[in-house]
Amino acid sequence: MSGAILSFEGVTYSYPGVQRAALDDVSFELEPGEFCLLAGLSGHGKSTLLRAACGLVPHFHGGSFAGRVRLAGLDTREHGPARLGTLAGALFQDPETQLVMSSVRSELALAQESRGQSAAAVARGVEEVALALGIDHLLDRPTHQLSGGEQQRVALGAALAGRPRVLLLDEPTSQLDPVAGDELIALLRRLNQESDTAILLAEHRLERCLSSADRVIAVRDGRIAHDGAPREFLEWAAGAEPALQTPGAKLFALAGLSPPPVGVKQARATLRRRGLLGEDASGGVGIGASGAAGGMRGAGDEDARGAPEVVRVAGPAARVRARVRARGGAALEVRHVWHEIPRGPAILRGVDLRVEPGESIALMGRNGAGKSTLLRHAAGLLAPTRGRIESSGRVALLLQNPGDYFLHDRLDREASPPALARAGLRGLEDRNPRDLSGGERQRLALAIVTDGEQDPAVLALDEPTRGMDRLAKAELAAHLQTRTQSGQAVIVATHDPEFACACATRAILLAEGRVIADGPTAELLAGGWYFATETARILGGAAGALAPESGAELLAARAATTATPLEAIG
């Protein structure tokens, strides 16, 4: 008998009323203690596979099911999710819908209580899982007061409370900021190493967790397209599914280097060994470095409470902007705007911002930094408690959840034909908005907020890439570029440095309601730690290379100076 903790044998599954199979002849085995990543574009079957592993498919969702899934020897056709839940913990995307009790302690106790464990066993289980996940300080907190990251940790704790042998995770970091997302992945790595818990993790941002994985399964059209070690997966993805390549792997592929790196550390080691890392790569052109080089200018000197200084990065783009500014005609001007909550904190503290027509800006910063509030002020949903906002036209704001815009059952009742065409949705007029893919939903919401006789002067987007795969992000970035080319200013609040690099020429970093850095994306995102692309982290921010393409050019130039062709190095 196989020692696998989870096995799929020829599993084919279709959701009720749907002809197309969501899973098509899927077979694989997961060994105890294995850390396995599930890769694939949206809608290709990752979530269905995870739901089949914990018995929700077919018991909860219905549909037609063929083949066999065994979890620790139990056939999921004979045992429901409740029984299987003692062996497999499941964690899904949205932390809010996974917390069902009012306090953290009750949440952690629920699964054990419902399985009839004694009070002493429940209390011990709660204590242990809280300590293991570092959430013991949250035990008596109400669940509605937790941040997104805390909610996801508590949901993970609830999934782990019964000490399952397998953990099934469906994009658990998609709703989290990069800090909380990295913390969660680190936690999973520790669990996997210290408790031998097998992990099956579906994730879009593979660069975040590839180095922790033992194995990657790629799913395409409901079938297993590839199953192998992380490096083998990257080699396969380069040819078969480039949208699944990590930025680091793409950088190496474009530069003609091989093998593709599994993580920043490995990439840097390879480049160092081959003399391509560069002398200045360790320091980079980070925020501090840029400031030192370009001359930092403090903007908060008048503030007696010691406001953080704003780092102005004066690159070529900044100089162009300065010329445009001189001619006047800003699309949006925010002057010393404060947002103070009555009997509460100040969310924005004297923000100054000038946005030129056709400019694209990435607004970055950790959760609670004030990004969403600033966008709401720009769109007129909020009025400043102090300060002034002026715009040359309408400011269209796309909020985080595109589904919130849909009121009708047909696309053509949501937006006008020209707006739909501009959003690339021509031909889908009779579809129900709720049946669209994630990327299409985002574009429909964009069509709704930008619909009208006159184009908006400014388009503001609040975290538009949550839960999107790389392909959908690239499409959105391209769409935003067409808008900036037509003269609209675009401001995107995002946690995703890769997306910021793809769609913005200027980046602004907010912290505690203040602008703490403002400059060209190529310089601001080059030398950071969290707010940096993988290419920038690999190259240490050298020459402001953020994208794999510019990074590959830099490597080619370095190879030329060492007179060694990259092909020879590879």
Partner 1 sequence: MSALRRSSPESGSHAGSGAFGRFAPMLYRPLASPLHATRAGIAALWALSLMTGALLLYHPLALAALIAAILLAGYGAGVGRELARALRTALIIGLPIVLVNVLVSREGLTVFARLGDLGPFGQGNLTVEALAYGGVIALKVTVLVLITALASLAIDPDALLRICRRLSFRSALTTSLAVRMLPLLAADAQRLAEAQRTRPDGAPRGARARAALLGAVVAGSLDRAMDVAATLEVRGFATAGRAPRQQRPWSRHDLAFLVSAVAVLALALLGRLTGVAAFTSYPLLHVPFGVGLLVLCAALALSVLLPFADRRGIEL
Nearer to partner 1, 171 or 451 (CB): 451
Q: How is residue 514 annotated by DSSP?
A: E
CA distance 200 to 90: 10
177 residue type, one letter: D
Contact positions with partner 1 (CB under 8 A) in 263-302: none
Residues with Cβ < 8 Å from 309, sequence gap 6 or more? Answer: 296, 297, 298, 299, 300, 516
CA distance 49 to 532: 32
Number of residues that bind partner 1 (CB under 8 A): 90
Nearer to partner 1, 226 or 443 (CB): 443
Q: Which stretch binds partner 1 (CB under 8 A): 65-73, 86-94, 127-135, 541-549?
A: 86-94
Among 305, 323, 327, 434, interactor with partner 1 by CB under 8 A: 434
Is residue 485 a contact point for partner 1 (CB under 8 A)? no
Among 398, 477, 532, 552, interactor with partner 1 by CB under 8 A: 398
CA distance 25 to 16: 18
Contact positions with partner 1 (CB under 8 A) in 314-343: 328-330, 333, 341
User: Do you find a cis peptide bond into 464, omega within 30 degrees of 0?
Assistant: no
Helices (H), 163-308: 178-195, 230-240, 247-254, 264-273, 287-294
Contact positions with partner 1 (CB under 8 A) in 103-132: 103, 105-106, 110-111, 113-120, 122
Measured from the CB of residue 111, what is the shortest distance to partner 1 in angstroms? 4
CA distance 508 to 462: 14
- How far CA 520 is from CA of 325, 328, 504, 506, in Å, comes to 15, 20, 9, 4
Nearer to partner 1, 242 or 452 (CB): 452
CA distance 459 to 500: 15
Among 100, 240, 478, 560, interactor with partner 1 by CB under 8 A: 100
Contact positions with partner 1 (CB under 8 A) in 399-418: 399, 401, 403-408
Is residue 90 a contact point for partner 1 (CB under 8 A)? yes
Helix, strand or coil for residue 395?
strand
Can you say how many angstroms the Cα of residue 36 is from the centroid of all Cα atoms in its chain?
19
Q: How is residue 341 annotated by DSSP?
A: -
Among 68, 141, 223, 366, interactor with partner 1 by CB under 8 A: 141
Q: Which stretch binds partner 1 (CB under 8 A): 8-16, 212-220, 233-241, 443-451?
A: 443-451
Contact positions with partner 1 (CB under 8 A) in 509-548: none
Give the tokens for residue 444. 């429909």
Measured from the CB of residue 353, what is the shortest distance to partner 1 in angstroms? 14
Among 73, 134, 142, 283, interactor with partner 1 by CB under 8 A: 142
Q: What mask, x for binding partner 1 by CB under 8 A, covers residues 153 to 182?
A: -----xx-----------------------
